[in-house]
Structure 1
Amino acid sequence: MPEKKLVQLTELSRYVDEIANLLPNERQPYVGRHAFAHKAGIHVSAIARHSSTYEHMSPSAIGNERRILISELSGRSNVSFKSHEFSADLEKEPELSSKIVDRVKKYEQLGYQFEDADASFKLLTAKALGKYKPFFALKSFRVSVEKNVFGKMVSEATVKLDVEGEEVHTVAEGDGPVNALDGSLRKALVKFYPQISDVSLSDFKVRVINAGAGTAAKVRVLIESRDSNSSWGTIGVSENIIEASWEALVDSVEYKLMKSAGQKPAKKKK
């Protein structure tokens, strides 16, 4: 197969999944999202020096990409390597790299896992580097669920935000409380940031962290979002599933805005 055709292999695989309405197998050889993933610090250090030490071919040759995972096994090499993804260079700042590694490990002790939440990790790092500016501030949110006279479950979410000093108050219904909360958040922001209109949630996972605590157990929410160009993962952790979902939703929207390079809100549409 010609090289210029081979480079389209990953794209082809994901296109087939899309038209077949299948979720891509992230661990599929060559084309999977985790096919060229590296976690342990010593592996990443070696990859940074010479990729052939742990990779038999370049992921770009088949249209895939290398992924450096962040976890409790991470070292400064992981953080330094990941920092290049958002135009930062931490190789010459070992103290800052160590600070970020310590912060990651602290979050992991609380139940966070950044392996599938790259966007949340990038936001965490951007904050540590002073490269982050919030696009909005939460004033309050409320979620209600009721069963109406027709026997239908109805979920409604109310969100109050502050965007550049302006208070925005929106209400939305949805298929479940998280969907309603997502709809209300988008409704509040799309007038200021129209670029979020092409973002959709492609996956939503909930996992109980400490099952022994019963109904008071802490939960981890992982959300995968995508736009017309890429996909990203975010995470939230709390004893309250709605709060954990809100945290992951906010990270998803803020990451989209950050990667769109719009650090200043657009003027509100009249």
Structure 2
Amino acid sequence: MTGTAQSVSVEIFDTTLRDGAQTEGISYSVDDKLRIARKLDELGVRFIEGGWPGSNPKDALFFEQARTMPWSHAKIVAFGATRRASLKPADDASVRALVDAGTEVCAIFGKSSVLQVKEVLRTTLEENLKMIEETVAYLRGQGKRVIYDAEHFFDGYRLDATYALQTLQAAVKGGAETIVLCDTNGGSLPWQVEAAVTEVRARLGSAPVGIHAHDDTGCGVANSMAAVRAGARHVQGTINGYGERCGNANLCVVIPNLELKLNFRTLPSGALARLHEVARFVAEVANLAPNEHMAYVGDSAFAHKAGVHVAAMQRHPDAYQHIDPTVVGNEMRVVVSELSGRANVVSKASELGLQQVDAATGAKIVELIKAKEHEGFSFEAAEASVALLVRRITPGYQPLFTLLDYRGMVSRHGERSMAEATIKLSIGGHEVHTAAEGNGPVNAFDQALRKALQPLFPQVKDISLADYKVRILNSNLGTAAITRVLIDWHDGVRRWSTVGAGSNILDATWLALADGYEYSLTPQAVGAVAPNGLLSKGA
């Protein structure tokens, strides 16, 4: 449905900073949360749930600072719970913290399940209904807009549908503007969600309904879509699907599905093209590796490896893609591997800015790649090595430098260990011999190579190794196994990756190191590398 007129809106409520922060391995600072909130506001989501101000000082500080900042599209939301049993809302410190957070909008959760009320809250069903209605009414009396999250709704609905619906009616009676049905344990399936949302809408009349899905069955996105099909017009989720246990509904998939497949408007015009950028930004701030295979925004989402696919794509761009990747800010890539055909290589060469690769040369490169992958190389994640491999087989190639020999030594003196490497290179017809120490053999080789190159190439100082990965390919051979080394690089602007392989880990490391420096220091050999890590034409 791409390009058709959109008339119906679905509110996007982002909880990356609250529910997403419950991901194992994520610990946002206040500055992290503010940076992500700014990026989400630029994307154009309707609500940004900043945290629970009554639970910890960090979230309280976030709201204090957020109050002083301008927001273009989003409303910052404070999250909390209904009052505790036997307390008035005004006497509950957690409820007062919501008021003190200073946000226009609050989101509060209450129990929808008989089991949760009796076994977790240890109170009566009647008291729980009062807790919901009175807390919503109190916040409304304080001038707040209230979004009510019906926690454990779908489990509660299956257990006792009558009572689950009564809890929603209590929130409506208190003045909640939106009733959000939460699949808190993530165990529901799409047809169950669609049926329940249909029933809720029939019972609540005009009260807007939303969905908050977790992904414990792998159905977080599907359940969100099912709810919208049944009439929900408010969807909660997180960027990259972050969240406790298996995560929340992934907004990086929900949003384009709603916009491009169901024809709903979720973001300001043109904002969808920023989705790829936002997904990677949030992953970077969260200090988690991006999921490269994520639908729509993963770097592999529009990557083509099979030769038949690439050949078809050259004839028509829709042959093996369900949308134009630029719509979500992504791009099509060709992957070169032992499964490649000539079309892959010719297309990749063009993508990398190497225009003089005809079909015959492409066939030679395919055979070379297949031979090298048989030796243990893998070029799918090492496009800089692909660029150099193509360059080296084309006429007129001159290596930037040639290895004459190297030596490495690792020693230990008491509690101190050290490594030393010597490298002898031929650079421009001149022999250069350097030595360096490091905290390990890889670091020592890297330092020695830098020392050799920097007099002629001062930009070496800006090049950094971002990651160094080692994989043992045939572990049945023990210490004689083939080792593959993949190195990720950056220079503050660009990112690139190189690969080496061999039965000697230092030989494999040398190949990946040498490719990394040659790629960066020989601009005419390769195309530019965009800041998002994707290779593109035209430096």
TM tier, shorter chain? 0.7 to 0.9
Is 1:201 the counterpart of 2:465 in the alignment? Answer: yes
Secondary structure in 2 matching 1:28: coil
Alignment of structure 1 residues 97-112 onto 2, 5 Å: 97-112=362-377
Instruction: Indicate yes or no: 2:397 matched with 1:140.
Output: no
1:74-108 C-alpha deviation (Å, 9 max, x unpaired): 11110111110223154xx3222211111111112
Residues 220 and 163 of structure 1: is their aligned pair in 2 closer, same or farther, counting only changes over 3 Å?
Answer: same
Match of 2:524 among 246, 253, 261: 261
Matches within 5 A, 1:173-184: 173-184=437-448
> Aligned pair 1:13/2:287, yes or no?
no
Offset of 1:227 from its aligned partner?
Answer: 2.4
Which moved further from structure 2: 167-176 or 31-40?
Answer: 167-176
Structure 1: distance between partners of 2:442 and 2:268: 46
Deviations 1:31-60 (A, max 9, x none): 222121111011111111222221122222
Q: 1:88 aligns with which of 352, 355, 359?
A: 355
Question: For 2:360 and 2:342, how far apart are their aligned partners in 1?
Answer: 9
Contact 1:123–1:132 (CA under 8 A) maintained in structure 2: no
What is the deviation of 1:212? 2.2
Return the offset for 1:130: 2.0
Aligned to 1:190: 454
Is the contact made by 1:39 and 1:74 (CA closer than 8 Å) also made in structure 2? yes
Cα 1:152/1:247, change in 2 over 3 Å: same
Equivalent in the alignment of 1:266: none
RMSD of aligned alpha carbons:
2.0
State the match for 1:56 in structure 2: 322
Answer yes or no: is the 8 Å Cα contact 1:3–1:61 preserved in 2. Answer: no
1:44 aligns with 2:310: yes
Structure 1 residue 193: Cα displacement = 1.3
- 1:106-164 superposed Cα distances (whole Å, 9 cap, x missing partner): 11221211111211111111111125321112222221111123x12212222222222
State the shift of 1:168 in Å: 2.5
TM-score scaled by structure 1? Answer: 0.88
2: distance between equivalents of 1:235 and 1:221? 6
Are residues 1:23 and 2:286 paired?
A: no
Identical-pair percentage:
46
* Matched-pair contact (CA < 8 Å) for 2:519–2:525: no
Structure-2 change in CA distance of 1:24 and 1:202 (3 Å): farther
Matched with 2:509 is 245
Distance in 1 separating the partners of 2:365 and 2:319: 26
How far apart in 1 are the matches of 2:314 and 2:460? 34
* 8 Å Cα contact 1:225-1:231 kept in structure 2: yes
Larger Rg: 2
Q: CA deviation at 1:235?
A: 1.1
Match of 2:331 among 65, 82, 86: 65
SS in 2 for 1:233: strand
SS, match of residue 51 in structure 1: coil
Cα displacement string for residues 166-205 of structure 1 (whole angstroms, at most 9, x for unaligned residues): 3323222223211221122112112211233222222222
Residue 4 (structure 1) shift: 4.3
Count of residues in Structure 1 that have an aligned counterpart in Structure 2: 259
TM-score of the superposed pair, with normalisation by structure 2: 0.46
Residues 26 and 193 (structure 1), Cα distance of their counterparts in 2 relative to 1, 3 Å cut: same
Deviates more, 1:169-178 or 1:41-50: 169-178
Task: Provide the C-alpha distance between the structure 2 equivalents of 1:179 and 1:66, rounded to a whole number of angstroms.
Answer: 35
Out of 241-250 and 180-189, give the one that drifted further: 180-189
Match of 1:172 in 2: 436
2:498 is paired with a residue whose SS is strand
How far apart, in 2, do the equivalents of 1:49 and 1:227 lie? Answer: 36
Q: Quick one: distance in 2 between partners of 1:113 and 1:96?
A: 20
CA distance in 2, matches of 1:120, 1:180: 22
Alignment of 1:146-157 (within 5 A): 146-149=411-414, 151-157=415-421
Determine the C-alpha separation between the residues in 1 that align with 2:460 and 2:295. 32
> Does the CA-based 8 Å contact 2:391-2:525 persist in structure 1?
no
Greater shift after overlay, 3-12 or 184-193? 3-12
Matched residue type, 2:386:
F
Structure 1: gaps spanning 5 or more residues = 264-270
Rate the CA distance shift 1:29–1:138 in 2: closer, same or farther, 3 A. same
CA contact (8 A) 2:388 2:525 kept: no
Cα distance in 2 for residues equivalent to 1:262 and 1:57: 32
Partner of 2:343: 77
